[in-house]
Amino acid sequence: MIEAALPFPAINPVLVQLGPVALHWYALAYVAGIALAFFGIVRALRQKRLWAAPPFNGRPPATEDQFYDLMFWAAIGVLLGGRLGWALFYGVILCSVTPEAAGMCQDLPGRFLSQPWSIIAEWNGFVPQLRGMSFHGGLIGVIVAVWLFCRRQKLPLLPVADLIAVFAPIGLFFGRLANFVNGELWGRVTDAPWGVVFCSPYLPGVCPAGSLPRHPSQLYEAALEGVVLFVILQIGFRVFHLHRRPGLLAAIFFAGYGLFRFLVEFFREPDAPFLGFLTMGMALSLLTWAAAALLLRAALAQKPA
């Protein structure tokens, strides 16, 4: 057996246990990601120099109070979208294409018909294959929530989307760190010196990914989708003022996330074969590129400020 150069850290996935109620790092990552992203948005709204030039002319796309309200809508969107997206993309589509997928597609998607409550029962610990959240589903949920909110509040959709996109990588960063702490979504087997054996320090002898070192693909995603994408978007926002072409920063976010996710899929262990060499993550990244193309077209169709 190859020895991992980096031991899996002894971090309990449960932060606090109060009787039957447990607070997981994963849940805290969602809260921290959303809260810090909207804190960054509010700070940006207060920087008048960012909104001095056309098309804003001193007026940000929304007020602080409106963004605080939008934070609640976005949280609901990411939770419902993430869960429903997992049920659709993985539980239905993937398990229909490759029903033999070990450990995940047992009784799926049939179980969703016989036990429809399991579609939203992410907490369903006694049926491990039903647990999961999809980033792409969460992204769709946020898009729907932002569109509905902007329509209700009569706000300009693309400038609001740009501002959310600039800070969205914060949530991605914390989410991928939580995946690593949970010992899930691990990478493919590797002989790299930074390979990790994903054995639980709290369940001796339990190695859900096997005994061989694997790429810590969660950390790759945290670095690329979280840190690198955040830096790119902040430079575009604060240095090149790309928000003056509404939709352009959102397009960069979609394109960047799709690129980084597609690349990391070569190191991440797929849930099951999908279409040839394409994993489900790669296939969904194609959709993010399509969305980026539509946003880019909308942004470039406008006259530069």
DSSP 105-150: -TTTTHHHHH-GGGGT-TT-TTSGGG----HHHHHHHHHHHHHHHH
Counting the structural domains of the chain, the total is 2
Residue 127: predicted pLDDT:
39
What is the token pair recorded at 200? 């639980």
Domain with 140, as residue range(s), is 62-155
CA-based angle 253:257:259, to the nearest 5?
120
Residue 256: predicted pLDDT:
98
State the amino acid at position 191 in one-letter form. D
The residue with greater pLDDT, 192 or 227, is: 227
The pTM for the full model equals: 0.88
Cβ atoms 252, 168 nearer than 8 A: no
104 domain-assigned: yes
- Do 37 and 134 share a domain, yes or no? no
Residue 123: predicted pLDDT:
46
- Do 32 and 78 share a domain, yes or no? no
- Do 150 and 163 share a domain, yes or no? no
Across 14-28, 64-78, 81-95, least confident range: 14-28
Q: How far is CA 77 from CA 172, 219, 259, 262, 288, in A?
A: 15, 25, 23, 24, 17
- Do 132 and 102 share a domain, yes or no? yes
pLDDT tens, residue by residue, 212-226: 899 999 999 999 999
Residue 102 CA to chain centroid, in angstroms? 24
Residue 153 CA to chain centroid, in angstroms? 26
Mean pLDDT of 286-295: 96
Residue 117: predicted pLDDT:
61
Query: For 22, phi and psi rounded to 5 degrees?
Result: -125, 135
- Do 169 and 275 share a domain, yes or no? yes
Residue 126: predicted pLDDT:
35
- Do 217 and 289 share a domain, yes or no? yes
Residue 163 CA to chain centroid, in angstroms? 17
- Do 139 and 164 share a domain, yes or no? no
pLDDT tens, residue by residue, 103-139: 566 666 666 666 666 666 544 443 344 456 788 888 9
21 domain-assigned: no
Cα distance between residue 17 and residue 292, in whole Å? 42
10 domain-assigned: no
